[in-house]
A = this chain, B = another copy of it.
Amino acid sequence: MKELEERIKKDGRVIGKDVLKVDSFLNHQVDPMLMEKMGEEFYKRFKDSGINKILTVESSGIAPAVMTGLKFGVPVVFARKHKSVTLSDDLYTSEVYSFTKKTSNHISIAKKYLSSDDKVLIIDDFLANGQAVNGLNTIIDDAGATLAGIGIVIEKSFQKGRQMIDKAGTPIYSLARIKAFENGQVVFEPEND
């Protein structure tokens, strides 16, 4: 998505070897018009996949997920993060390790909002090591639901999440794919569509 790549170049800040901060339009301040265009992109890619539910994780996934849900006309469920496991018969729970923050979170979704009837599109802000996607996928499996696709706003292709998803064969579409950070600059993978 050209507009997103340009925005990342203009407003993103590269920190260290593998962190990109996009606080000005995605993770703290949100540009709703850009989110709407992201929703349209995800819809174009996945509209024939029979999606009837969108899953994401609070908080930064919510804005792109809700715009995507609007285009599909389907509900969005955002998983809640907890510091500790909240065991409950009413919840699906899984563990998510953050390499950036070096802490584990648990994420949970109320059982009544995910069932074996659901064909799910996961939407998330970043794909790095694939921990959040893995955590959501565990929950989708536990619910007997079907993972139909994964939509990512910004993928860091040099980390292992993308490879893991490709290996599993799940359809994935990332709006911006970062090949590397070179001298504090973002280098994108060539767009192939």
Q: Which residues of A are in contact with B by a Cβ distance under 8 Å?
A: 23-25, 28-33, 35-36, 58-59, 62-63, 66-67, 69-70, 73-78, 80, 109-110, 112-113
Contact = CB atoms under 8 A, between A and B. Distances in A.
B29 A76 contact: yes
Contacts of A62: 30, 59, 62-63, 66
A73 B62 CA distance: 18
19 contacts: A23-B110, A29-B75, A29-B76, A29-B77, A29-B113, A30-B76, A30-B77, A32-B66, A32-B67, A32-B70, A32-B74, A33-B70, A36-B70, A58-B59, A59-B62, A62-B62, A62-B63, A63-B66, A63-B76
A75 to B, nearest CB: 5
B66 A30 contact: yes
